[in-house]
Structure 1
């Protein structure tokens, strides 16, 4: 675990200092225990040797104060080291997340990432402040005791020592079992955490549909699986724990039998036997603790591994030099792309003219969203190239690429702040006039006027205080305020009521009026018909391309799509014939 930790937190000198301090206090504690033997020998002698007892009592007191001072000295460094580890790892994770491509977040559930940042880093830090020091001390103390006992009687020393290799063998045997079990338990906990977050975020939906009291099946399944996993894990862990406890108790029994045998043979005095048996009980305690500490170490190893998975995730290659593209034209040149081994795009070529609106239509799973994400370089293509203004997106620095575009997703996330703060996120230095202009163009001002706190109305975590359409208005206002050459819109009008659809459409029109290159995935006829170019995507390639009128005349796939949507738009629900 320490080796893995040093790979992501390379400050071995501080850990070596901490280990050294706990070795010292472990030796001090062992010496303190060993001095019990001459102290009891002097007290139990016939007659008692009071002078020797006083001298050894003085040694015990001195060692006791030295031990307490050493504990304070070591813990001060331990807490400081733990705080630095937690601070550094959390900052490193935050900095590294900013370097990772957006595609990395698509495949990593929020629950796992939250556990890595909020739980795994404190777990790694607590091991350094508590578990690792206790483990070092629990090894150093028995080792010192064994060395001291050898000076009194080598046979008793062997009796004390015989437990150690057996305990080490059991610990090594149980290590993989503990680690695998902890990994399974951590996976189950991460899934349950993710579903709990999802359940909390979806409360407005549940309550609006009258299912608030019915529970959330995915979360219930995750919690059930977590309980089953924990029960199974505890069963697996019981056997190694019992074996280890049995070995330690067997060692104590061997010490007891050896001491009794030597006493009956007259080779050890009664005071020595009593002292050694008292020492044996104190010897067994830290040795028994080692088993529990190794389990905690294995658990912490999983936590460190979770953090390491984030910190070692490879960002996409960055070019040595980068310059903003000359135009906002987007070109897909013979692009092939697979996601998790599943082909998504196949030798797709498409040119999206600058300053025009291009609509992407096609069945679900055809690759439309992937096209938008490749423009934003969520991932790199398998072959071919995606270019902006003739420049491959791989030759643009991430900052330069993001400066060229605004992205409005179907489900936009808002931070738990005011409406104004969420809009200003796109351009913190924008003037009040620029913010108001963007808000008005997106018709977000209508929402602001309805809210009691106006601009200072808080949107709640994830924007849950606003409706889906209102959140889209905020996202459109952001795009208008950022004022980038390219705007990517991913089904922004899907499932909106007529009022919000009209408001979002007005925002899109405002973007188009500014001469932006707009790429929109759309199912609403109004959006599709008004596009300057329509690309029909199916099975990962472009099967039709043209304007609305041109595609209707061809009587191909788009014409069928348009006819189907037109019929659906004409449906009405009535109460019966009148």
Structure 2
């Protein structure tokens, strides 16, 4: 779906705009009709028939306006909501297709801002702002036209006052262009900082940096306040200056009309009418200035929406991907999240089909990045990755992920029931399959002990469950998906002893079936029996082999093993003391 189709207006929207135009013209007709009874009253020929006729016309216009307003407002709301709904659904789908590297390079606040604040702003244009502008311009135009007909000098004065809108809006739009974009960017940064603050509120409180003590959030909010002030400070003087000149049309019209009345070239009814018109025209002109400035500012949101719509998506292809085996090979792979900051350099290895390959190394050495590249969350800058001998470079990420189950250290759960969280791995799975996966994942017992069992809500990101419980649910999802390749990213890290034992038992059950398993481990003792161990350091594979082979080399792995044994001895001595 291209940009034009996503942003395309519908018939309801266009109907609402036409009806707003008609309502504005009919509103202007009210003043024109009032002119006739005033004229008749002054000329002393106002009679009951004329009074009833004019009253009937005014009543008819009121009823027609009421009908037009009701239909126009309803159609505008429905039409605008339909358009914004289409945009929201498209953006929701689009964000799922944007490469993950964009979320690393840019702040998530920009995307949050677009799908929430920017879409809301654009909806305001569609449902309110544009219709009000059309109605007020049509009403103003009709009143100026009427003034030009009954007394041209008054019409010219009103027209001149309204034409001052052009330079005023030009100056206002320049300010919107200068400050509006900056304001939007600061707002996006503000959203990112607030999301980070709320996510880490427990840590911030623990270190006494919550509330106003959090300098990042405080500075971000102050920056937004400052840019809002500068924005208003720059635009308000333009509006005030224009308003002064617009209201000057009232004394000018009163003087010009009064002179004509004194000279006998202008009748009393017309004079009274043209003197009243500048009051309405000047007020409407001020409203139009505010609405058009606001419209211009809100259109920044439209450009931000289009920017996301036009973002490059992950590579999609129709190439079939059904490897006969599931060995995973890296061939001289180099990757970096940021330019000139390589994370992996010339990495080559093979994780053999239906065997366990373990990855160990220091924090930040590139272990998790290897799993991310296998999953096609990111694309390497050079080199090739093969599954079953087939390069995944031109294969759609979705097809690659269909062959992979993952158990991460940081488990994400939807704000849904336990059953539906597990079912997300295979939506067609029956209840008995879900429960069997939970038994193998060592979590069926704690689920059934809950009051609502499998229908228990997990809370936002699983906050109603412990870390070990979340981890076991993650393993249950991997078991249910039953993919031929299994990736484990330090699944037992940061768990207490009881939960670690339960998770390890669940992992043993998961490893019971024949799969190609690639496992990151922080404890070397649990991967002694791995078919191959890769030692990563500084973004490179510095050693690889079995446990015994690596110990025999007396290199990096040997040093890590010795350090772990010494730590175990220290812990034993500390406990005994």
Question: TM > 0.5 between the two?
Answer: yes
Q: Is the 8 A contact 1:5 1:304 kept in 2?
A: no
Deviation of 1:473 (Å): 1.0
Deviation of 1:111 (Å): 4.7
In structure 2, list runs of 5 or more residues that go unmatched.
none
Q: Find out whether 1:400 has 2:395 as its counterpart.
A: no
Q: Using the TM superposition, name which of 269-278 and 346-355 deviates more.
A: 269-278
Deviation of 1:187 (Å): 4.0
SS at structure 2 position matched to 1:395: coil
Q: Residue deviations 1:308-358, cap 9 Å, x none?
A: 343323222222231312211111122222323243332322222121222
Q: Is the 8 A contact 1:188 1:222 kept in 2?
A: no
Q: Structure 2: how far apart are the matches of 1:218 and 1:519?
A: 43
SS at structure 1 position matched to 2:393: helix
Q: Find out whether 1:261 has 2:261 as its counterpart.
A: no
SS at structure 2 position matched to 1:247: helix
Q: Structure 2: how far apart are the matches of 1:343 and 1:432?
A: 45
> Equivalent residue for 2:345?
346
> Equivalent residue for 1:294?
292
Deviation of 1:53 (Å): 6.2
Q: Residue deviations 1:500-521, cap 9 Å, x none?
A: 2222222322232212212222
Deviation of 1:482 (Å): 0.9
> Equivalent residue for 1:485?
484
Structure 1 pair 431–244 and aligned structure 2 pair: CA distance change class (3 A):
closer
Map 1:240-251 to 2 at 5 A.
240-251=235-246
Map 1:65-464 to 2 at 5 A.
65-106=63-104, 111-202=109-200, 205=202, 211=206, 215=210, 221-265=216-260, 266=263, 267-341=265-339, 342-448=341-447, 450-464=449-463
SS at structure 2 position matched to 1:458: coil
Structure 1 pair 201–228 and aligned structure 2 pair: CA distance change class (3 A):
closer
Structure 1 pair 186–178 and aligned structure 2 pair: CA distance change class (3 A):
same
Deviation of 1:285 (Å): 2.2
Deviation of 1:479 (Å): 0.6
TM-score w.r.t. the length of structure 2 is 0.89
Map 1:516-527 to 2 at 5 A.
516-527=515-526
Q: Is the 8 A contact 2:101 2:337 kept in 1?
A: no
Q: Is the 8 A contact 2:193 2:220 kept in 1?
A: no
Deviation of 1:198 (Å): 4.7
Q: Residue deviations 1:397-419, cap 9 Å, x none?
A: 34321210012222111122332
Q: Structure 2: how far apart are the matches of 1:257 and 1:430?
A: 80
Q: Using the TM superposition, name which of 350-359 and 174-183 deviates more.
A: 174-183
Q: Is the 8 A contact 2:334 2:383 kept in 1?
A: yes
In structure 1, list runs of 5 or more residues that go unmatched.
none
Structure 1 pair 53–449 and aligned structure 2 pair: CA distance change class (3 A):
closer
Deviation of 1:32 (Å): 2.6
Q: Is the 8 A contact 1:324 1:396 kept in 2?
A: no
Deviation of 1:191 (Å): 4.2
Structure 1 pair 331–97 and aligned structure 2 pair: CA distance change class (3 A):
same
Structure 1 pair 286–310 and aligned structure 2 pair: CA distance change class (3 A):
same
Q: Is the 8 A contact 2:413 2:461 kept in 1?
A: yes
Q: Structure 2: how far apart are the matches of 1:13 and 1:6?
A: 15
Deviation of 1:463 (Å): 0.5
Structure 1 pair 349–272 and aligned structure 2 pair: CA distance change class (3 A):
same
Q: Structure 2: how far apart are the matches of 1:200 and 1:366?
A: 29
Structure 1 pair 33–220 and aligned structure 2 pair: CA distance change class (3 A):
farther
Q: Residue deviations 1:91-142, cap 9 Å, x none?
A: 2223333434454555565554444334433332232111110011122211
Q: Structure 2: how far apart are the matches of 1:483 and 1:575?
A: 43
Q: Is the 8 A contact 2:368 2:489 kept in 1?
A: yes
Q: Is the 8 A contact 1:332 1:351 kept in 2?
A: yes
> Equivalent residue for 2:556?
557
> Equivalent residue for 2:469?
470
Q: Using the TM superposition, name which of 26-35 and 74-83 deviates more.
A: 26-35
Q: Is the 8 A contact 2:414 2:459 kept in 1?
A: yes
Deviation of 1:297 (Å): 1.8
Q: Is the 8 A contact 2:485 2:515 kept in 1?
A: yes
Q: Is the 8 A contact 2:28 2:143 kept in 1?
A: yes
Structure 1 pair 180–463 and aligned structure 2 pair: CA distance change class (3 A):
farther
> Equivalent residue for 2:20?
22
Deviation of 1:428 (Å): 3.3
Q: Structure 2: how far apart are the matches of 1:187 and 1:219?
A: 21
Q: Residue deviations 1:182-224, cap 9 Å, x none?
A: 4444444444444544555556x55xx9739862679663255
TM-score w.r.t. the length of structure 1 is 0.89
Q: Is the 8 A contact 1:418 1:457 kept in 2?
A: yes
SS at structure 2 position matched to 1:411: coil
Q: Residue deviations 1:416-439, cap 9 Å, x none?
A: 233233222212333444333322
SS at structure 2 position matched to 1:344: strand
Structure 1 pair 382–6 and aligned structure 2 pair: CA distance change class (3 A):
same
Q: Structure 2: how far apart are the matches of 1:507 and 1:424?
A: 18
Deviation of 1:78 (Å): 0.5
Q: Structure 2: how far apart are the matches of 1:235 and 1:37?
A: 46
